[in-house]
Structure 1
Amino acid sequence: MASSPINVLFSREYSKLKSAVNLLPAQRYKVTACPLFDITAVEKTAQLRADFAQMLASDYLIFTSQYAVIETLEYLRLLGINSAQLNALKICVVGPVVARQLTEYGLNTDLMPELYTAESLADLFPPVTDQAQQIFFPKGNRAALKLEQVLIKKGYNVVSPIIYKTELRCGLDSPAKILFENNSVDCFAFTSPSSVQALMAILTNAEQQKALSHTVICAIGTTTYQACLAAGLTVNIMPTEYTVEGLARAIDSFYASTSSG
Structure 2
Amino acid sequence: MTTLIEVDELAALLETPEPPVLLDVRWRLAGPPGIEDYRKGHLPGAVFVDLDRDLAAPPGPAGRHPLPDAEAFQRAMRAAGVSAGRPVVVYDDADSTAAARAWWVLRYFGHEQVRVLNGGYRAWTEAGRPVTDRTPTPEPGDFTARPGGLPMLDARGAAAVAERGVLLDARAAERYRGEVEPIDPVAGHIPGAVSAPTTANVGPDGRFLAPEELRERFTRLGVAPAAEVGAYCGSGVTAAHEVLALELAGFPAALYVGSWSNWVSDPANPVATGEN
What is the TM-score normalised by the length of structure 2? Answer: 0.28
Higher-Rg structure is 1
Higher helix proportion (structure 1 or 2):
1
What is the TM-score normalised by the length of structure 1? Answer: 0.29
